[in-house]
Structure 1
Amino acid sequence: MFDGTFTADPQQIYDRVRAHGPAGPVELAPGVDATLVVEHETALRVLQNPSLFARDSRRWKALNEGRVPLDSPILAMMAYRPNCLFTDGAVHLRLRQAVTATFDRLNMTRLRRDVEPIADFLIDQFSERGRADLINDYAKMLPLLLFNKLFGCPADIGDSLTGSLGALFDGIDVQRANAELTASLMRLISIKRRQPADDVTSWLIQHPAGLTDEELKDQLVMLMGAGFEPQRNLIGHALHLLLSKEGSGGSGMLIEEAIDHVLWHNPPIANYAAHFPLRDVDLGGVIAEANSPVVISFAGANSDPALKEARESHNKGAHLAWGAGPHSCPAKDPALVIAITAIERILNALPDLALTVPDEQLQWRPGPFQHALAALPVRFSPTPATRMVAALQTAAPLPPAEQPGAPAAAEPERQGQPAPKRGFWSTLVDLFRV
């Protein structure tokens, strides 16, 4: 699942596995074996049975025995972190309650108002050119900047988070990026403990679960990771569909219909949710050994022939794009609001958007966990970059730490040293102050 064959046509892999049963052996990366579940019913059996299938990857037998290369890129997504994704039982419940209670405090109207000026800011960066890459210029950057807003990041911390998280997902100098990400989040937590505000970081700190700084850091990493990649892919895939012949060039399909189509046919995360059986388990004739990874193919389960009728009608309750069971996505509603708002904003701003290459020439990013576009080149009539100021008239206010006159989070510039390079977030913070 790591070579060009899977990248070009993942469905053929799911069909080959399905030919042997509801699950089958795959190689996620060189030297990393797993069992991939492609049948919907079997996927639910695993996802909804935490007493038999654990999420704690410290159980991973091959990793513990040194049979998984320690430099394998797969470990960034599968190695244990003490957050909601990799914990079970009472520990998972405690962490999950803090996260779900925090999401419950998000106001969807305010969230939409947060997305709009960020979308307009990004559109302004390329609207005068008449051309753009809707993945890297828009769908990738929007969730990164939005998380900075939701987390209440001061300018310098937001710039650091944006750069380090982007580098982690792109596989660029991963060790350095991970260290910078950790340091930035620990600084943010320290600031919010002293100066709580109306933001996600402060809400997590204030939750009765009493999360430690380390626990807070790991939940924030999880929220950023679980939101960034899926959100980028959901926005990008839906825009691709709307602008393609299948979507009649943006005129024949509603945005909500495009999103439902994506969730069924090309879910933002195609394969993930590694579980580790507590004992050997028979998955329809395939034995998943104890403490070996069982990976759920959300894309494969969604394409299960048994779901043909539900898939054709785009039944929202049957697909597994949001997962299922105790580890199902807790941010479904915010994710939909973000995607719909981002897509509406750019289609309204640039109504004559058109793809510049045919579908068969589009490039897809390699990797076993997603079938995601590397780029989505478009053209349009150049327009003035004047949207941001108008959007700010209805934007939600910045947290106190980012208001004019608030104490700077960064250390003072030392004499003789150049000022740090300003990133998108610090520029956007200044614009929010207009």
Structure 2
Amino acid sequence: MDSARYRANDGAHAAAGRSGTPAGPAYHRVPRPVPLYGAEFAADPRAVYARLRRYGQVAPVEIAPGVGAHLVVGYRAALDLLHDTETWSKDPRAWQATVPPDCPVLPLLGWRPNPMYNDGEAHRRYRRVVTDTLGMIGPHALRARTRSAADALIRRFAAAGTADLVADYARDLPLMLFNQLFGVPEEDHDRLVAPLAALLEASGPRAAGRAGDAVTRYVGELVNRKVREPGDDLTSWFLAHPARLTTEEVVHHVALALGAGIEPVTNLISNALSRMLGDDRYYSTLAGGALTAWDAVHDVLREEPPIANLGAHFPRRAVEFHGVRITPGELVLISYGAANTTPDGLPPGPRSDGGAHLAWSAGPHACPARGPALLIATTAIEQLTGQLCDLALAVPRDRLAWRPGPFHTALAHLPVRFTPVRDTPASASAPRGGLRPAPPHRL
């Protein structure tokens, strides 16, 4: 990353300061790209975002050793980019040709035939498959499934009086749900946990490469099984959609749906629980009925979004974007975490306006699974806090460990204690299907 492109803008900022807009600190005070990996970023991303704002709306970062990117840290600039499909492309292949094959972020950011990495008609075709298929999930059935899965997990640790709500609850719950919805055999339920985590942590080329291969192999086996034996599940519905995806395209759509559904929802549940249990403004008022799990989830989406830095874009031509020169094919990421928390002069804590945020992204590539994700997270929190009503953190919140990685805001552990409960209630059995009637077209 050529930091001269940023230093060259000092004069423009000084001029802005003279016209009445506060001038930011000179760019040369932050002499090189800021790393978004390692313990420092994981422990205090807000401090890192504050440093990045010295550059203005866009800042140079490293997302892995030697892998540079521009990071959009301003809310206004993020919206400008996300809505401008004429200037910006989602296709990473030009950038991909400039990085080594063992680049640790390539398994996550490399091109795939799915809606996340395509533009125009290809994107519209792929996205239609995703939205149509997700639309077949009945919300009442999904809520029942979530309650049933939550009850089953709570019963595993309720009598112990202690738990790690990441490992024992938040990680397993979306995994159970999405595996059921996609028709994954029960004996295979745990095969995705480690590879999906490794992709987002981008901890090294070997680990990331093995993780990408493991996810593709796992989903490929699932799709091939559903080609032979279709069922009442989302994988079969991807195969049956009138868009007539190829088997390879279905593999990459299912892999995207599982990856975007399991890890982010895990983080959303655990981050919200940690805030509720670590701050009396949440938990004491929640128990008293003034705030709901919905409020806690939305505060997390604004202030600690599960996916903090992603939304890869690439300029189609050389562009000067908010004072920074960016050449065709360079990697530009959106920092939802930084954009959401751009200083606005408002006090911290719950907000009556809901707190505008970009946790679901925006524009034509905005997350299509917002509704199911919110339903799962809020229901999971309600079931847990309703059955274990005296939950308390086992360590202060500021001592909780966060997982490394440039892309997410993810707790490593969430240790809690509570009064042991010998007999926890079980929700009514969730419906076996929970999907609306199958589409009439099959391949």
TM over 0.5: yes
Q: Deviations over 1:189-239 (max 9, x none)?
A: 233234333221122112110011110010011011111121011101111
Paired with 2:430 and 2:218, the residues of 1 have a C-alpha distance of 26
Is contact 2:138-2:434 (8 Å) kept? no
Residue in 2 aligned with 1:414? none
- Work out the percentage of aligned pairs sharing the same amino acid: 43
Residue in 2 aligned with 1:227? 261
Distance 1:197 1:317, change over 3 A: farther
Paired with 2:226 and 2:315, the residues of 1 have a C-alpha distance of 39
Matched, 1:366 2:397: no
Residue in 2 aligned with 1:259? 297
| Aligned-residue CA RMSD (Å) | 2.5
Shift of 1:44: 0.8
Q: How many residues align?
A: 393
Distance 1:307 1:33, change over 3 A: farther
Q: 1:91 aligns with which of 112, 118, 122?
A: 122
TM-score, normalized by length of structure 1?
A: 0.84
Matches within 5 A, 1:145-224: 145-161=176-192, 164-165=195-196, 174-224=208-258
Letter in 2 for 1:103: L
Q: 1:6 aligns with which of 36, 41, 52?
A: 41
**Secondary structure of the structure 2 residue equivalent to 1:282:** strand
Is contact 1:164-1:181 (8 Å) kept? yes
Is contact 2:216-2:251 (8 Å) kept? yes
**Secondary structure of the structure 1 residue equivalent to 2:55:** coil
Residue in 2 aligned with 1:124? 155
Shift of 1:240: 0.8
Letter in 2 for 1:123: I
Residue in 2 aligned with 1:47? 82
Shift of 1:247: 3.5
- More displaced stretch, 84-93 vs 3-12: 3-12
Structure 2: unaligned runs, 5 residues or longer: 1-35, 436-443
TM-score, normalized by length of structure 2?
A: 0.82
Paired with 1:166 and 1:19, the residues of 2 have a C-alpha distance of 31
Residue in 2 aligned with 1:34? 69
Matched, 1:238 2:272: yes
Q: 1:283 aligns with which of 321, 329, 336?
A: 321
Letter in 1 for 2:81: V
**Secondary structure of the structure 2 residue equivalent to 1:318:** coil
Distance 1:29 1:168, change over 3 A: closer
Matched, 1:346 2:377: no
Paired with 2:141 and 2:74, the residues of 1 have a C-alpha distance of 39
Distance 1:85 1:350, change over 3 A: same
Paired with 1:312 and 1:20, the residues of 2 have a C-alpha distance of 29
Paired with 1:43 and 1:268, the residues of 2 have a C-alpha distance of 17
Letter in 2 for 1:41: R
Letter in 2 for 1:396: P
**Secondary structure of the structure 1 residue equivalent to 2:253:** helix
Distance 1:84 1:394, change over 3 A: same
Paired with 2:60 and 2:274, the residues of 1 have a C-alpha distance of 32
Distance 1:164 1:319, change over 3 A: closer
Paired with 1:168 and 1:73, the residues of 2 have a C-alpha distance of 8
